[in-house]
Chain A
């Protein structure tokens, strides 16, 4: 199997679908000739032509708005927001339009659309290149929200998203583009070429939406995480010596409640981790789901580790980012609780 970075895996998912289905079109800011600021669409214009992959004006609501019209026509647009932090002008188009088109027209019009965006921190991007806005989308009925944590899943989930007949928000943790960053910012990142999940099947490879996966089996504690925090949690568990079961959610909506409940019922303890701010974050939903499904199996209160409820800072990035020390400390608290 070829080895790929997450960028290459995402690029490959585009290329596979564009070759297979000429209704797949790709556009966004800098994605055409240049291939995207993170290079996720590099080579697509050259390969498929300017009608299939092209640059868009700097206008996020226009990008999503035109994509909705294209989807209504019968195309399958895949659009890129250059950073998740820039998606807000498009929020109305996503929430009031894309998410509701099937419902409000009783299936007369549908919106097979993927909105991709690099998310999360760890690159000294300050408040406008580091946010994790997933909860703004998971709260919206009609949307599916996906966050891959590795190249294998990134390709498989993106292909599943493109094939889905409903709008999918596809958040790509940018700190994972080149390697499985585990929160230890002082050491060089292991490249994906040295990680088993950097092996990505060629051709059409699908990871179904709505299915979580156990990354590491454990007996003492269930960690619910997604994106970069999957790797931070694995490292933190090793650091503090807890036999944690790490669940990589992969898709936030629809959520794999069954897998979550099975794991928490087994371990009796649960830690929820995300980079996004704490209050009304997706972790709150996870805690509620676990309390509902597993309350009588719990041996300790469920604990959340998340970004502080401040804007994402620049100089204080590593004091903000939930790293191994905070996650490991929380694991110990859950074990003592």
Chain B
């Protein structure tokens, strides 16, 4: 063919073997982005979808209008929560490698987002998470042993062995049952928020999605419904740059930023440094307050980097430079908060090392307890009888017959 047309297929700047290059990533200086009042007209903050809210600067100081949403005590607790999440991930990754379960997913490098966000919510609020928000549960003090029992699909698995590891569910902890089908929960979160508004209560929802899944139609469905009915929901996009092997440019296309997706819907849209615990909390609090005041949805793009593999079934060295994670300009969330607290003289390297050891001991003890109830391959497992329960509230005759046939 000799026409002028050719298909544009976006490519990341660098592939394995190349030198990581984030020089094209524009990052606003910490403290430079204003904090508007929560009753701001969405039209007046359209520029914020293209900037980036940051509190911690390179020196580790908290600066600007978004600083000050948390006390030193809260920040120390937040640091320890992120360390627990990281320690938990490390142990469970190892357990998977040891054949104690089939599958695991870490959130390495993204801990600040779920951990700080959870602290901006109230009891009774509901998250509709993706598979990488284990921090929501840990920050809400969900028992680590229960999480592990789910991962091991053992006799004490709260989900009775029915779900892939890490697809937790806990209504009591404001954590909606995780689906392996991407983006479905995003619009469900909007529906939950609509229900809360229909009932006239005070509870709000938080819907979660990854950068890659914003390409799903359910993302757009969620945006339409949230915008139309001004649902009390915080719409979170965790942009960790990579959807398995696909870089964010494939889902984003020419839109500039993921936050900018919200502008056409008239939804106030922020872009926030997701590796900055203070910025995450302050922005989450702003959006949660808007929702609770019945001012409608807020879209937040959390800018971060998936430092580990997508899952235990993935090897990122096949599609991105190994050094890319270290070159990521927004740094590591744990180190940044640690440095801030050391600078404030409420934390030290020694105390950090000591806390790491304590947390590791706690996780190890939890693991020992969880394993006393079984692991996937050694058992004991949930009963085969459980396989037939909960398909319906009351087991219909055809399932009863099949259960008999299975001999249970």
Seen from chain A, the residues whose Cβ lies within 8 Å of a Cβ on chain B are 25, 51-52, 56-57, 59, 61-62, 65-70, 72-75, 89, 92-93, 96-97, 101-110, 141-142, 144, 164-166, 210, 253-255, 257-258
Contacting residues of chain B (365-400) with chain A, CB-CB under 8 angstroms: 390-393, 396-398
Q: Is B205 a contact partner of A61 (Cβ separation < 8 A)?
A: no
B191 lies within 8 A of A70 (CB): yes
Q: How far is the CA of A103 from the CA of B387 in the complex (A)?
A: 9
The minimal Cβ–Cβ distance linking A30 to chain B, given in whole angstroms, is 15
Instruction: Please report the C-alpha to C-alpha distance between residue A5 and residue B76 in the assembled complex, in whole angstroms.
Output: 67
Interface residues on B, range: 35 or more
CB neighbours (8 Å) of A164 from chain B are: 393
Which residues of B come within 8 Å of A, CB atoms? 126, 128, 158-160, 162-163, 167, 169-171, 176-177, 179, 181, 184, 187-196, 198-199, 205, 217-218, 221-222, 224-225, 228, 390-393, 396-398
Cβ distance B20 to chain A, nearest Cβ, rounded Å: 36
CB-based contact A106/B190 at 8 Å? no
Closest residue of B by beta carbon distance from A67: B191
Is the beta-carbon distance between B171 and A103 smaller than 8 angstroms?
Answer: no
**Given the complex of chains A and B, what is the CA–CA distance between A141 and B199 in angstroms?**
31
Q: Given the complex of chains A and B, what is the CA–CA distance between A89 and B195 in angstroms?
A: 22
Q: Point out the residues of chain B lying under 8 angstroms from A73, CB to CB.
A: 126, 191-192, 195-196, 199
Known: A69-B195, A254-B398. A96 touches B189 (CB 8 A): no
The listed residue (B167, B171, B191, B217) touching A66 by CB distance below 8 A is B191
Q: Is B169's CB under 8 angstroms from A104's CB?
A: yes
Q: Considering the chains assembled together, what is the distance between the CA atoms of A61 and B218 in angstroms?
A: 7
How far apart sit A327 and B158, CA to CA, in the bound complex (Å)?
Answer: 52
Q: Which of B169, B225, B393 contacts A166 (CB 8 A)?
A: B393
Q: Is the CB of B217 within 8 A of A89?
A: yes
Chain B residues near A68: list those with CB within 8 A: 188, 191
**B188:A97 contact, CB within 8 angstroms:** yes
Identify B176's interface contact among A57, A72, A103, A253, CB under 8 A: A72
Query: Which A-chain residue is minimally distant from B233 (CB atoms)?
Result: A69
Some 28 contacts from A to B, beta carbons below 8 A apart, are A56-B225, A62-B218, A62-B221, A65-B188, A65-B222, A66-B187, A69-B188, A70-B191, A73-B191, A73-B195, A73-B196, A75-B195, A92-B184, A96-B179, A97-B184, A101-B177, A102-B392, A103-B162, A104-B159, A104-B162, A104-B163, A104-B179, A105-B171, A165-B393, A210-B396, A210-B397, A254-B397, A257-B398
Question: A105: which B residues are within 8 A, CB to CB?
Answer: 159, 169, 171, 177
Given contacts A73-B195, A97-B181, A106-B390, contact A61 B221 (CB under 8 A): yes
A107 touches B390 (CB 8 A): yes
**Shortest distance from the beta carbon of B161 to any chain A beta carbon, whole Å:** 9
In Å, the complex CA distance between A75 and B198 comes to 9
